[in-house]
Structure 1
Amino acid sequence: MFLDIQHLIPVLVAIVCTSLLLILKSRRNHNRIQSCSHDVVLLHHCGKGPHAPSLSPFILKLETFFKMAEIPYQIVRDYKLGPKGKVPWVEYNGLIMADSQLCMEYLTEKLRLNIDDHLSTAERAISRSLQRMVDEHTYWLMVHWRWAFDKEKLSLRQANWGSPALIIGTYVQKKNTYTQGVGRHCEAELLRILRKDFKALSDFLGTKYYFFGDRPSSVDCSIFGQLSQFLWHLPGSEPNAMLRGDFSNLCEYCHRMKDNLWKDWADNVLFPVEPS
């Protein structure tokens, strides 16, 4: 018991320090928030990512959706967790919403967007399946690699994550992925599973411009958000090499999404030069 307590002391100290830091950041940034205009979405966000606009695929997913649908929005980098204890979350005309997918679905209905109107009934079903695969499965493979197998954690360090945050993140996310299930796999098993996810996406995309033809749809936001983390925020890793080497059409797709929808990409990353 004594040894267990000894090992827990650094973690507990790190949790307390990081919690205090986040509270101070939240209060400081909250005072800077300007009241936004009617019909402008406030996107509660955290810091910029090193080579993509966020280390969170769900923040990137939601912001890509705003750009795709031409929804006026304003970023609030306040490090505040939303009503469900996560980021991103949004405010829209006094309404607070959490969960990237639910936010997209609400705004699509509320604003009567035609972003998926070109999809057939069968294509909508496939779109839903792809969205669920990347957001609920491929995502966890990325999380576990980032926190369990990526010993360098270069992207996190480039984003100025201090030692306390890295200690806490490693402990919490390893626990989360173990509970979810992917954290019970070894590196070789995880890579085999990830390859099958990449292959499914690559085979379905083929030579198409977007996943359902020449016009982007909502599922492109999810897929781009998740693939962006492997492509830009896991430099030098086996998943990154696999994506670049064996699934080049997915890499080309990510660059098309970036070039066509993110004209301000360079202004929203810490280091505009893409890692090798």
Structure 2
Amino acid sequence: MAAPMELFCWAGGWGLPSVDPDCLAVLTYARFTGAPLKVHRVTSPWRTPQGGGDFVVSPTGGIWCVPWDPTMAFAAQKYNADYDLSATQSADALAFVSLLEEKLLPVLIHTFWVDAKNYVEHTRKWYAETIPFPLNFFLPNAMHKRQLERLQLLWGDDYMEDEEKLEKELYREARECLTLLSQRLGSQKFFFGDSPASLDALVFSRLAPLLKAKLPNGKLQQHLKSLQNLCNYCTSILSLYFPWDGGESRPPPHPAGLG
């Protein structure tokens, strides 16, 4: 068996193995493929190998910063969730990844980190209670600033010119994105049938925090909850692949194809 890679990620919460969507994508991909992954759940980014972020460390000492394409590292060890996809399915997956990153991700950042009520009553509160003293006094605010900068990069300079108008438009597009995902999934177990692919890891990592968080201002969350197949999809992945909260990945009940 291949030596495990190591993931340094934020601790779990809200019923999820990690509250960080990017780390959740890596965790989920490892569970889908049965790839060996030793998980270090931390409560401060400075406890990672290089400090200040979340990292995946390969057995040979290579380090990838999260977010990162899990297929690159895991497939190198012959754990490839997309091995059985057709050319058409692979093209569809790329299109949906672009849709998620362009239309949904910025609004998720806004929902958790910019919306004042959600940030103060939910996001900052969770991190302040989780991060050890005395870092909990200033680290959540530093993370908040970093997310604001990230959002401005994603939305461009227009965000600062007419914030209210842009928010309304982008939340509309995010709701449309969720609806498209619901339509594409239909009654299937996963997006390409009975076996999960990398797209499923990404979709789950984006939707599960939105579904499980107790947000005081849940305008996008309510739309997700109205799409029952997406809710069932998230619940099913949690129950199938994360029935425990251990530090190392265990083989999934239905391993994806190896390549």
TM above 0.5? yes
Match of 1:16 in 2: none
Name the structure 1 match of 2:235.
Answer: 255
Gap regions ≥5 residues in structure 1: 1-36, 269-276
* 1:85, distance to aligned residue in structure 2 (A): 6.0
C-alpha displacement of 1:214: 1.1
1:151 and 2:117 matched: yes
Matches of residues 141-180 of structure 1 in structure 2 within 5 Å? 141-153=107-119, 154-159=122-127, 160=129, 162-180=136-154
Q: Is the 8 A contact 2:111 2:118 kept in 1?
A: no
* Residue pair 1:45, 1:75 contacting (<8 A) in 2 also: yes
**RMSD over aligned Cα atoms:** 2.6
Is 1:105–2:72 an aligned residue pair? yes
Secondary structure, counterpart of 2:58 in structure 1: strand
Cα distance change of structure 1 residues 117 and 89 upon mapping to structure 2, 3 Å threshold: closer
Residues in 2 aligned to 1:120 and 1:104: alpha-carbon distance in whole angstroms: 16
Deviations 1:216-243 (A, max 9, x none): 1111000000111211125341111111
Output the CA distance in 2 between the equivalents of 1:100 and 1:174.
17
Say whether the 8 Å CA contact 2:55–2:64 is kept in structure 1.
Answer: no
Q: Is contact 1:147–1:174 with CA below 8 Å preserved after alignment?
A: yes
1:137, distance to aligned residue in structure 2 (A)? 4.0
Q: Percent identity over the alignment?
A: 21
Q: CA deviation at 1:251?
A: 0.8
Find the aligned partners of 1:230 and 1:47 in 2 and give their Cα distance.
Answer: 17
Aligned to 1:91: 58
Aligned-partner SS, 1:151? helix
CA shift, 1:114, in A, is 4.6
Change (3 A) 1:136 1:99: farther
Point out the structure with max Rg over C-alpha: 1
Work out the CA distance in 1 between the residues paired with 2:155 and 2:123. 24
Matched-pair contact (CA < 8 Å) for 1:57–1:229: yes
Query: Could you tell me which of 233, 236, 240 is aligned with 2:221?
Result: 240
Structure 1 window deviating more from structure 2 (192-201 vs 168-177): it is 168-177
Are the counterparts in 2 of residues 52 and 233 from structure 1 also a CA contact under 8 Å?
Answer: no
**Following the alignment from structure 2 to structure 1, what is the Cα–Cα distance between the partners of residues 100 and 111?**
15
SS of the residue 1:231 aligns to = helix
Contact 2:57-2:63 at 8 Å conserved across structures: yes
For 1:118-153, what per-residue CA distance to the aligned partner results, in whole angstroms no more than 9, with x for missing partners? 211000111122123224542221011211114143
Instruction: Determine whether 1:197 maps to 2:177.
Output: yes
Change (3 A) 1:53 1:62: same
3-state SS in 1 of match to 2:108: helix
Unpaired runs of 5+ residues, structure 2, are 248-259
Give the superposition deviation at 1:56: 1.2
For 1:54, the aligned partner's letter is S
Structure 2 residue identity aligned to 1:255? T
Letter in 2 for 1:172: R
Does residue 131 (structure 1) correspond to residue 97 (structure 2)? The answer is yes
Say whether 1:58 aligns with 2:8. Answer: no
Of residues 181-190 and 39-48 in structure 1, the stretch that sits farther from structure 2 once superposed is 181-190
